């Protein structure tokens, strides 16, 4: 229930950060202005007795976010991939949130599996281990299939996780509604829609049948991707709260010392993880949207192994083309074209000046080129982009939220492997290839073919549709707009008929 009772939840959030000592640490790591730091501390300090104590053996930030619950843990996971924003020390502390959280008892997992799969664990698996990884939503056990002897990973949802997430999401809705009420200017960012999007993603992650389906589809899309592999789904040992996958053997992508010890090239790995993400997003429109280090390993042959498919992103073909053109424009430093794409897609209101917007984009893009990668402040860049969007009245694009968030995470992963990586140079060949495939002459011919195929499917129905429209047109009309509507329907049908006829002629000639 989204009501004023959530005020206590939000107050407790600030109180927990203050009580655990995480408030000042996070403010300092993110280089918050002094006024913001003082204000936040003053608001939270009187209520710190309401805050959760947390596990005192953990560092302050990890302790606070773990105590606050799964939604806050997700936030910490994102920050853990961005040492350029929060510093190496805090990023390292938060990295335990990816897969090293406190586990729930093995016995509870076995009971859950028995209920979900309809058989006791010892009838399904041999060597069912203690938890080998525990994250915000589920934990993983290593086991061996009794039927085949294959090593597998068995993922089990945390008990009561659905209720815990609902409590956090309700508080987030209350905060978003309050912000929109108190600050009308914030409505262009559509905070309530952002939370709704987050809610949809999370609810999908809490049904492991959907995750298994996502893994299967993702595997089909990426079967031919060099240097990339996925574990197989074991459907007969999966259900809503339990999922079984083939075991992924490899070094954790977040352990640089281990990667160096076995001779993996971290520069190559950093470039590969970024290019793989862009290929999946642009080529397939379907991508792994939780690509932090805790969900990635490196096999002995150097292949990147991805797992945990609870959050997958999807973008339609038109949005992919818009996104690619924007990226390509930045890469080519063609800011006028980037501005035009924003206007054509409706991202910027038509009453704004395209040339002024292009100049503002130039101020965003130019600092990227010709600089050492470590000199670029992504925090400063994002801050300036926010100012630009506010000036030109851009609204938050909810369909791009997951893509943008994942891009930030993947960039953080790539930088953790290779701090000197130049994001734009690495992205360039992938984006250029997509541009050639989707916007060149071949793409135009392919799009025309799809349009013709759709029109031809309606061919047999056109005579009936036209006849029905003519009958409606012959009936008395009570208003001029009805007559106009009828004529428009007839013109549309006749146009479609003409289109089909033209298609048939062209097809015959070809």
Torsion sign (Cα): 354, 357, 361, 363: positive
Q: How far apart are CA 80 and CA 91, in angstroms?
A: 4
**What is the 3-state composition of the chain as percent helix, strand, coil, each rounded to the nearest 5?**
65, 10, 25
**Residue 412: which of 91, 13, 170 has the closest Cα?**
91
Q: How far apart are CA 214 and CA 306, in angstroms?
A: 12
Question: 259 with 269: CB under 8 angstroms?
Answer: yes
Alpha helices in 313-397 (DSSP H): 317-332, 335-344, 354-365, 378-391
Contacts of 310 by beta carbon, 8 Å cutoff, 6+ apart? 137, 204, 205, 208, 211, 214, 290
Q: Exposed (0-12), middle (13-18) or buried (19+): which is 333, by Cβ within 10 Å?
A: middle
Within 10 angstroms of residue 253's Cβ, the number of other Cβ atoms is 27
Q: How far apart are CA 417 and CA 314, in angstroms?
A: 27
Question: 221 with 286: CB under 8 angstroms?
Answer: yes
Torsion sign (Cα): 298, 299, 305, 308: negative
Task: Report which DSSP code applies to 129.
Answer: P
Q: Which of 99, 170, 290, 308 is catalytic?
A: 290
Contacts of 410 by beta carbon, 8 Å cutoff, 6+ apart? 273, 274, 277, 291
Can 290 be counted among the known catalytic residues?
A: yes
Contacts of 6 by beta carbon, 8 Å cutoff, 6+ apart? 170, 171, 173, 174, 175
Question: 290 with 306: CB under 8 angstroms?
Answer: no
Q: Exposed (0-12), middle (13-18) or buried (19+): which is 117, by Cβ within 10 Å?
A: buried
Query: First-to-last CA distance in the chain?
Result: 62
What positions carry a catalytic annotation?
A: 290
């Amino acid at each position: 229930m989204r009501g004023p009772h959530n005020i206590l939840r939000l107050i407790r959030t600030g109180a927990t950060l203050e009580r655990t000592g995480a408030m000042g640490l996070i403010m300092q790591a993110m280089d918050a202005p002094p006024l913001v730091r003082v204000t936040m501390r003053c608001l939270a300090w009187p209520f710190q007795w309401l805050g959760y104590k947390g596990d005192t053996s953990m560092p302050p930030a990890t302790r606070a976010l773990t105590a606050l619950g799964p939604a806050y843990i997700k936030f910490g996971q994102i920050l853990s991939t961005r040492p350029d924003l929060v510093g190496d020390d805090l990023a390292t502390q938060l990295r335990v949130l990816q897969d090293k959280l406190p586990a729930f008892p093995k016995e509870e997992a076995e009971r859950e599996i028995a209920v979900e799969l309809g058989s006791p664990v010892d009838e399904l698996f041999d060597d069912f281990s203690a938890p080998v990884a525990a994250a915000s939503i589920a934990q993983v056990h290593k086991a061996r299939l009794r039927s085949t002897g294959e090593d597998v990973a068995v993922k089990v949802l945390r008990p009561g996780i659905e209720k815990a997430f609902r409590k956090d999401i309700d508080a987030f809705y209350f905060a978003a509604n309050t912000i929109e009420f108190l600050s009308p200017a914030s409505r262009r960012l559509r905070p309530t829609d952002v939370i709704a999007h987050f809610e949809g993603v999370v609810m999908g992650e809490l049904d492991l049948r959907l995750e298994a389906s996502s893994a299967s589809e993702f595997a089909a899309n990426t079967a031919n991707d060099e240097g990339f592999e996925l574990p197989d789904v074991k459907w007969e040992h999966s259900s809503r709260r339990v999922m079984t996958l083939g075991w992924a053997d490899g070094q954790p992508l977040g352990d640089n010392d281990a990667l160096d010890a076995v001779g993996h090239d971290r520069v190559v790995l950093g470039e590969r993880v970024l290019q793989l993400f862009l290929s999946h997003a642009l080529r397939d429109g379907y991508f792994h949207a939780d690509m932090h280090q805790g969900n990635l390993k490196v096999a002995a042959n150097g292949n990147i192994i991805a797992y945990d498919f609870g959050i997958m992103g999807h973008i339609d073909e038109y949005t992919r083309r818009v996104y690619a053109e924007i990226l390509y424009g930045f890469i080519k430093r063609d800011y006028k074209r980037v501005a035009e794409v924003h206007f054509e897609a409706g991202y910027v209101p038509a009453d704004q000046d395209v040339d002024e917007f292009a100049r503002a984009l130039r101020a965003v893009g130019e600092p990227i080129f010709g600089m050492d990668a470590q000199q670029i402040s992504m925090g400063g860049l994002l801050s300036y982009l926010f100012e630009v969007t506010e000036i030109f009245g851009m609204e938050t694009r909810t369909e791009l939220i997951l893509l943008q968030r994942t891009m930030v995470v993947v960039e953080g992963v790539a930088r953790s492997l290779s701090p000197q990586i130049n994001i734009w140079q690495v992205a360039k060949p992938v984006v250029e290839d997509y541009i050639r495939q989707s916007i060149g002459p071949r793409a135009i011919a392919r799009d025309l073919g799809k349009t013709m195929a759709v029109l031809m499917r309606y061919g047999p129905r056109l005579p009936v549709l036209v006849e029905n429209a003519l009958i409606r047109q012959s009936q008395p009309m009570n208003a001029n707009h009805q007559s106009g509507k009828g004529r428009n329907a007839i013109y549309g049908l006749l146009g479609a008929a003409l289109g089909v006829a033209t298609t048939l002629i062209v097809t015959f000639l070809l």
